[in-house]
Amino acid sequence: MTQTPQTSNPTPSEQRPPQTGAVLVLGEAGGLGAALLRRFEQSGSPAASALNLTDGEAAAMLREGKWRAVAVVTRDDAHALRLTLLSAHVRPDLPLWVTMFDQTVSRELQHVAPKVHVLSPSEIVAGDLAEGCLAEADAAVLRRRHGVRLVDDALRLLAASACGLFLALAIEMAITMIAFHHGVVDALYFSTRVVATVAGPPGAESGPAWFKLVSAANMVMAIALVAIFTAALVRRLSRRRLTAFFGPRAAPARHHVVLVGFGQVGFRLAQALKGRGVAVMAIERDAEAPSIRLAKAAGIPVAVGRGDDREVLQRVGIAHCAAVAAVTSDDLVNVAVGLAAEDLRPDVPIVLRLGDGEVATETDSLLHLGRICDAHKLAAETIQQAIEAAA
């Protein structure tokens, strides 16, 4: 018999008696913990919950019960580490299954506690989502040349002002060659000095009137463009650079997957898609999200903004992308992203990550937004199967 998940900290008198040979599920109420308990119940395996308990209450349950295994299920790595250390200390004889994102902590835990088995729900879900993206979109389209798109505001302003300066230089070269019959090298040299507002070409004072007017206007335009270029460069250098002109972090222009939500699942999904040769453009609402720090080393371009915002979706190229994957931790936000994407481009393939089984069912039956991944159900099945296989 499976104990229902706790929604508040129970007192010892409110807890059910420990079950013999059951799996003890530690962590936080709701979410994956509740899904794992339902999975054990459906498979006929005994399990009991110790969700949202204090350290003392969890330790008491560990000591009292004749458990066959312990599962630590939580989205917070620090909380998972605390419960893992507590369980390994109180009951070192029990096999321990832990959900964790940080691979460094995972390796260290397995060194100090050999009976600890670490699973990453984000990797489990990301693999299914990646297959969903490949299934929904044309695989041949996903692997075509992607081009480059300027997504960052400062980067776009920097590129635009640089193009303007090159245009001013070209104009100045042309009128200098026409008015004074200079060669290309001399015209380039003197025109560069004019654009830099250093000095004009020799004899400019006695040049034709049309030359003076065009050169003066060109110089005023160059002064404005230099100011804009400098401001854009300072802004670009003073902020975290999440996209680039060239290289792996250059934002793709077409045939890419627009990935909304760059948390644990989003980061793993981006890695999985890149490993399959698929270009990715991520959107993250929180500029301080932990996974953004990992984007540079992983070569993943990221835009900061709301994934359900039409302007943001247009800026990252929804009109020419191969698919949209909404993988934030909020089910309703993911549904909103799907609706916004479908409104902007009705034929775009959409993949949604949903963690509440009811929301997934309702979305699939009423909205028909594309492929839906029930993240909690998938992760719970994988964890339960791993525990049963080890037993």
Check residue 267 and give its pLDDT.
93
Residue 10 in this model has a pLDDT that exceeds 50: no
Does position 171 have pLDDT exceeding 90, yes or no?
A: yes
Count the alpha carbons within 13 Å of 247 in the hemisphere toward its beta carbon.
11
pLDDT digits (tens, 9 = 90+) for 331-341: 889 989 999 99
The pLDDT of residue 365 = 57
Give the number of C-alpha atoms closer than 13 A to the C-alpha of residue 293, restricted to the C-beta side.
3
Helix (H, G, I), strand (E, B) or coil at 230: helix
Per residue in 340-387, pLDDT (tens digit) is: 999 999 989 999 988 766 665 666 555 667 788 888 888 888 888 888
More confident residue, 245 or 355: 245
Going along the chain from its start, the domains and CATH numbers come out as 12-119 (3.40.50.720), 127-148+252-375 (3.40.50.720), 154-238 (1.10.287)
Contact 344, 260 (CB under 8 A): no
pLDDT of residue 13: 34
User: For 287-323, how does the pLDDT look when each residue is reduced to its tens digit (9 = 90+)?
Assistant: 888 888 889 888 999 999 999 999 999 999 999 999 9
pLDDT computed for residue 358 by the predictor? 63
The DSSP result for 340-364, as a single string, is: HHHHH-TT--EEEEE--HHHHHHHH
Query: CB under 8 Å to 313, separation ≥6 — which residues?
Result: 258, 283, 307, 324, 340, 341, 344
Of 5-14, 45-54, 187-196, 367-376, give the lowest mean pLDDT range.
5-14
